Amino acid sequence: MGRRVAITGAGTVNALGPDVTTTWAALAAGRVAIGPMDFEEIDRLTVRIGAQIKDWDGAAHFARQEMALYDRAVQFACEAGRQAVAQAGLDLSDEETLRAGVVMGTGVGGQTTMDDSYRAVHAQGKNRVHPFTIPRLMHSAAASHLAMRHGLKGPAFTVSTACASSNHAMGLAFQMVRSGAAPVMLTGGSDAALCFGGLKAWEGLRVMSPDGCRPFCASRNGMVLGEGAAVFVFEDWERAVNRGATILGEMVGFAMTSDAADIVLPDPDGAVRAMRGALGDAGLNPEDVGYINAHGTATAVNDRSEALAIRTVFDAPPPVSATKSMHGHLLGAAGAVEMLAVLMALGDGVIAPTVGWQREDPEVLGLDVVPNVARRAKVGAALSNAFAFGGMNACLAVRRA
C-alpha cells in the first residue's frame, strides 16, 4: 500500500459561483445556472443556452501582462488554483517544490482564443493575430501557469480525454501522491468553450438540448454546455496531519478503462469496469458507497448506459445525482466541478440534487436520482463518474475525512 492522500484545498470559478462556498450553497439549493448565453455571433446558432459565467472580470484578478497570456480557460484555472492553495495554506520547502507538481485536464484548451483568431484572419481578413496566440491556446497552458504561479517544479502536464479529462487528471495526481513521487499536487480541470465556433461544432453532433439539461428524466433531450474550472490540492496525508491542515476528504481509489468500441456511443461494460476498479483500488465494497456523482449528461444514450452500469455494479444503488443539470457540462472541467458536489456530500452531509427531473424513464428505473431537492445523508464514501466520448472512462473514489 502507498501513502494516504488528503484533499486540503479546493477552488473554483463556474456559473454557479466564483468560489467553493457559493458553489456549495448553489448546489444545495438546486440553483440552475443554465440560461441564455451572450457572445459574438450567437444569433447564428440554433443552441443558445448554456451555463455561462456572466460577471467574470479577468482584469480584476490578473495584471495586464497576464491577461495578454491567459485564455479565458486559463484565467478560470489560475483563480481556482489561487483559492485552493490559499485554503490549503501550503508552505512548501525548497526540496518539496522540486517534487510538487500539477496535473490539469482540459477538453478543448484555449477555444475562445482559437475562435477569435480564426475570425480575425478568415472573416475579418486581417493578416495577423495576437502574438501570444500559441501560448494562450495550448492545452497545457493552465498547468504551466499554475506551476509558475505556485513554484511547483516537479511533474506538470495536462491530460485531455474529452469529458473525462479532469477525472483522469485527478486520478493521476492521486497516484503520484500515493506512490510518494510527489508530496503535493495541484489538480483539476478547466474549459471555456462557450463561443461561436465551440457551440457551432457541438450543434453538428445533434446531441444538444435546446431547452435544458434534465439528466435521467424521461423528457431529457440532450446536453447543455458550461464553462469554468475547479482545482484541488492533493497532499500526502501525514504531511497534512502533521501541519494541522483541514482535510476536506480522502482520495482512496481511481480506475480508468476504455470501451474500445465506439467514438461517441458509450458501452456500459467500460463504465462497470471503471466503477468496480475504483472500488477495488479503494478497498471499498459497493455497500460502503453512500453517493454517486453521475456523469449524467442528459443525452438519451449516456443516461441509459450509465444507469445500466450502476445497477450492474450495485445490487442496491446508493443515491445518484447529476449536477450537470445545474452547472452544465464543463467538458474537461466537469469532473473537477463535480468533485465539489462529492466533497459537499462527504463533508456537509448534503447530496446535491438532479435538477429538472420531471418524470420516471423506464430505461433508467431503479435509480434514486435525488430529484430536484437536495437531501441530508451521512455519506462515508462516494464515487464520481466520468464517461467520455470515445469510451474513455475514469472513476474516482473518495472517503469522508
Partner 1 sequence: MDGTFLTASDDLQGRVIGILAAQALREPSGLTLDMTLDGLGIDSLGMAEIIFAIEEEFDVMVPFNANESDAGAETLDLRTVGSVCAAVEQLLRSRRG
Closest by alpha carbon to 343, among 3, 20, 16, 17? Answer: 20
Residues 243-272 touching partner 1, rule: CB under 8 A, are 263-265
Q: Which of 42, 69, 300, 401 binds partner 1 (CB under 8 A)?
A: 300
Segment 41 to 80, residues that bind partner 1, using CB under 8 A: 46
CB of 298 vs partner 1, minimal distance in Å: 8
Residue 302: CB minimum distance to partner 1, A: 10
Q: Does 152 bind partner 1 (CB under 8 A)?
A: no
204 lies in the binding site for partner 1 (CB under 8 A): yes
C-alpha span between 138 and 111 (Å, rounded)? 9
**Cβ at position 314, least distance to partner 1 in Å:** 26
Q: Does position 359 bind partner 1 by CB under 8 A? A: no
Question: Residue 116 belongs to what H/E stretch?
Answer: helix 111-118
Binding characters for partner 1, 109-148, by CB under 8 A (x = yes): ----------------------------------------
325 and 374 in contact (C-beta within 8 Å)? no
**Residue whose C-alpha is closest to residue 22's, from 327, 394, 260:** 327
User: In Å, how far are 137, 242, 264, 364, 375 from 164, measured between CA atoms?
Assistant: 20, 33, 13, 22, 26
Query: Is residue 225 within the footprint of partner 1 (CB under 8 A)?
Result: no
Single residue of 2, 89, 180, 210 touching partner 1 by CB under 8 A: 210
Nearer to partner 1, 134 or 218 (CB): 218
Residue count, binding to partner 1 (CB under 8 A) = 18
Residue 253 CA to residue 189 CA, distance in Å, equals: 19
Minimum CB distance to partner 1 smaller for 221 or for 258: 221
Q: Which three three-digit cell numbers place residue 271?
A: 463504465
The DSSP secondary-structure symbol of 243 reads: T
What is the spatial distance between Cα 383 and Cα 396, in angstroms, rounded to a whole number?
A: 6
The torsion angles phi and psi of 276, rounded to 5 degrees, stand at: -65, -35
The verdict on whether 329 is a catalytic residue reads yes
> Residues with Cβ < 8 Å from 232, sequence gap 6 or more?
7, 9, 10, 11, 84, 170, 186, 187, 188, 336, 339
Given the residues 163, 195, 213, 217, the one annotated as active site: 163
Beta bridge partners of 320: 292
CB under 8 A: which stretch of 208-216, 306-314, 326-334, 354-362 binds partner 1?
Answer: 208-216
- Of 222 and 391, nearer to partner 1 (C-beta) is 222
- Dist CA 347 CA 179 (whole Å): 25
Q: Is 394 in the site for partner 1 (CB under 8 A)?
A: no
206 binds partner 1 (CB under 8 A): yes
Closest to partner 1 by CB, 187 or 299: 299
Backbone phi and psi for residue 225, each to the nearest 5 degrees, phi listed first:
-80, 155
Please tell me whether residue 325 binds partner 1 under the rule CB under 8 A: no
In the complex, what is the shortest distance from the CB of residue 205 to partner 1, in angstroms, rounded to a whole number?
A: 6
Is 295 a binding residue for partner 1 by CB under 8 A? The answer is no
Phi, psi of 278, deg, nearest 5? -65, -40
Query: Which residue among the candidates 139, 150, 168, 295 is catalytic per the annotation?
Result: 295
Output the CA–CA distances (angstroms, integers) from residue 147 to 94, 236, 340, in the order listed.
Answer: 14, 18, 22
- Catalytic positions are 163, 295, 329
* Positions in the binding site for partner 1 (CB under 8 A): 46, 204-210, 220-222, 263-265, 298-301
